[in-house]
Structure 1
Amino acid sequence: MSIDEVEVEHEHGPGMNIRSLPAKFVLTACAATMAELVTFPLDLTKTRLQIQGEAASHQFLGVKTKKPYRGMIQTAVGIVKEEGLFKLWHGITSAICRHTVYSGVRIVTYEQLRDSVLCKDEEGCFPLWKAVIGGMVAGGLGQFFASPADLIKVQMQMEGRRRLEGKPPRVHGISQAFMKILSEGGIRGLWAGWIPNVQRAALVSLGDLTTYDTVKQFLLRNTTLKDNSLCHGLSSICAGLVAASLGTPADVIKSRIMNQTRDKQGRGLQYKSTTDCLMKTIKKEGLVSLYKGFLPTWARMAPWSMTFWLTFEQLRKLTGVTSF
């Protein structure tokens, strides 16, 4: 696809040129890969923190402890000391695969909904209620397709922890993890935990996509800011904060469901469903446990959102694709 083909979109209006969709998907994947490389250690830290409550009674290096992890910074330092520096990026390949699918599908879907289905009003504005619908639908759809990669990512992130607890390793790589999950649970096993996954993604996209798009358009219409990096940066900061606030509870439940041991039919042995996991978590650890890992979640989402949106907007500009 040439840049000229992509620029046909300018002549016919946004969303009209189907040939631009692959270009947008590729640009989204590139921007998401950059964001993942920069912020993945925070995602690993967040996942470890979210699992700690259910592992509190386990033996840790032969010592009984109620709190294996001591917080965001201590957890990251502990991983480096106990497992090695590069273990902070353990599972990065599966994370990139996941975001290639997830971000690609959700961005393209949201733009199509905004520009061709839900459509802007007569003044060229995209009403908030439409942005909410578009963000949640796009995020949920993207995550549904990306759930197998997300399942593999979560399990790979916990391998270092399992090794220190004296447990046998479950996976050694993406292909081996994929075949193991497929052999144990079949196709259905690849979508284990997809319901909380999709719920979380819908909320995160509501916070990320909807907030970014809404704040960006507000700034362009009501301030002297132009469609430049400063505008993109301010919009992405707001998007990261709202996304973390909405998505952390669902992220906690998702991580626990996807990390649990399963039987030969692919059914979880610890939690029967999203509701069961939610109730057991609240009962044993309290409501505040639903926001375990909020700090690293927000600390990751803020730079992730900024890195992604700044990179994405610049790539679109460089390749002649209209600004998001």
Structure 2
Amino acid sequence: MRCGSHKRPGKDPGAQLPAPPHTHTHTWKGLGCLGATPPPTTEGTLSLWSSPLSTADTTQRGRGLRGMLAGDAPHWLPGRQEARLPAEHRWAGNGQPSGGDLESGSSPGPDPQTRGGGMDFALGGLAACGACLLTNPLEVVKTRMQLQGELQPRAGARPYRHVLQALAAIARADGATALQRGLAPALLYQLAMNGLRLGIYGLAESAGCTRHPDGHLSLPRCAIAAALAGVLGAVAGSPLYLVKTHIQAQSAAEIAVGHQHQHQGMVQALRQIWRAQGVAGLWRGAGSAVPRVAVGSATQLSTFSSAKDIVDQLAVFPAGGWQVALAAGMSSSVAVAVAMTPFDVVSTRLYNQPVGPRGQGLLYRGVADCFASTVRAEGILGLYKGLGACYFRMGPHTVLSLLFWDQLRRLWACYGQR
């Protein structure tokens, strides 16, 4: 089926669309959508293909014209060319003219057949793990800077002054491998927490829960869906975050900050906590993770969705391209760092504090007490301790996890539906 002889589904077989300007054939050199099956494309665009393909062929493969015109193609893959169709020839994916327009910002939500479903859980976890591999050294620095000077006045020695100096100090005192300390629990935490968080948010997005009935994105709905998804993910992954914090805080005596738990590894740490404190000990600190992740998720995912819509409407980058996700993620990370840092500081300290024989915290009684104690001893800026490290970690992690998530979903939409 060539671009110039495209038939509208459900209409008169003789009806044809006019060929777009500069019609020509072009071989698509993508990763897998070769031969007779093109990937889905963004609404309002039509790819130019070198292989003829009938409507019957596409219907047999389960996508049809619907997938080609309303799906989510990976526009960032090489060899792709597309022609803009007139508005009257755009379809919503159900054989009817589209009710939305990309320029007006009223384009319909994600196609339920290409987004959401059980795969969003796996894709969300894999995306977060990929980001974690690259940003874990910054997580180590962030954790230590937030524990530095805990409940002490500002005067005094500080082994970590800024991010670059902290990275060098850790590598010098503990060895370069210490920059990846706690990587195993960090990866499992990302898989559990973000798999649930991004997966549940993806399901809500696919179901249209994040948009108004007219198709426009709803910021409050995005925030509520993201916060609820984040809370569920935080509770599920809390034991792994507890162990991760303990291990990442461990260091040589000359640069040690916070309480030193002296774990030998993730499995040994989980076993030791289980034996000493029981199941409740594994979830100690989860109360601080709930507001932390709820605020972070609501800020991250809602600002990412909003920024992505704005960038799409501005048409600065190719529609659906990786540049759109990158720009949206960079904008999102600024808001996340500012909104989340006070909760992150409190969460880190509650997780890392020493405990008594009955499992009670020896420094803080809970979230409110940690907030109050930190402000009394260190001032209001104590809640923003490590803000720079927080951004340098959250910024890349936000960009990478959401970028990977966005593109993995597009790849799944293209290849996974066969």
Residue 298 of structure 2 aligns with which residue?
206
Match of 2:375 among 255, 279, 282: 282
Superposed displacement of residue 115, structure 1: 3.2
Q: Unpaired runs of 5+ in structure 1?
A: 58-63
Give, as a single letter, the amino acid of the residue that structure 1 aligns with 2:286: W
Kindly, what percent of the aligned residue pairs are identical? 28
Match of 2:262 among 138, 149, 170: 170
Is the 8 Å Cα contact of residues 236 and 305 (structure 1) preserved in structure 2?
yes
- Cα distance between partner residues in 2 of 1:148 and 1:5: 42
1:145 aligns with 2:236: yes
Cα 1:165–1:316, aligned 2, differ >3 Å: closer, same or farther?
Answer: closer
Match of 1:273 among 359, 366, 371: 366
1:136 aligns with 2:227: yes
Give, as a single letter, the amino acid of the residue that structure 2 aligns with 1:24: D
- Cα distance between partner residues in 1 of 2:411 and 2:400: 16
Is the 8 Å Cα contact of residues 15 and 111 (structure 1) preserved in structure 2?
no
Residue 121 of structure 2 aligns with which residue?
25
Q: What are the within-5 Å matches in structure 2 for residues 41-80 of structure 1? A: 41-54=137-150, 66-80=157-171
- Cα distance between partner residues in 1 of 2:330 and 2:277: 40
TM-score by length of 2: 0.69
Structure 1 SS opposite 2:160: coil
Q: Deviations over 1:71-129 (max 9, x none)?
A: 22222111111000010000011000000011110111112223327352233122111
Cα 1:123–1:224, aligned 2, differ >3 Å: closer, same or farther?
Answer: farther
Q: Deviations over 1:206-248 (max 9, x none)?
A: 2211111111122223435411111111000011111111110
Q: Deviations over 1:41-68 (max 9, x none)?
A: 11110110000112769xxxxxx95323
- Cα distance between partner residues in 1 of 2:247 and 2:119: 31
Structure 2 SS opposite 1:93: helix
Structure 2 SS opposite 1:312: helix
- Cα distance between partner residues in 1 of 2:183 and 2:256: 22
Cα 1:278–1:162, aligned 2, differ >3 Å: closer, same or farther?
Answer: farther
Give, as a single letter, the amino acid of the residue that structure 2 aligns with 1:107: L
- Cα distance between partner residues in 2 of 1:165 and 1:75: 12
Superposed displacement of residue 19, structure 1: 10
Q: Mark the structure with the bigger radius of gyration.
A: 2
Residue 330 of structure 2 aligns with which residue?
237
User: How many correspondences in the alignment?
Assistant: 314
- Cα distance between partner residues in 1 of 2:210 and 2:261: 50
1:252 aligns with 2:348: no
Root-mean-square deviation over aligned CA pairs = 3.0
Residue 36 of structure 1 aligns with which residue?
132
- Cα distance between partner residues in 1 of 2:158 and 2:134: 28
Is the 8 Å Cα contact of residues 210 and 222 (structure 2) preserved in structure 1?
no
Give, as a single letter, the amino acid of the residue that structure 2 aligns with 1:160: S
Q: Deviations over 1:250-304 (max 9, x none)?
A: 0000011110111232210111111111111000000001111110111111111
Cα 1:96–1:281, aligned 2, differ >3 Å: closer, same or farther?
Answer: same
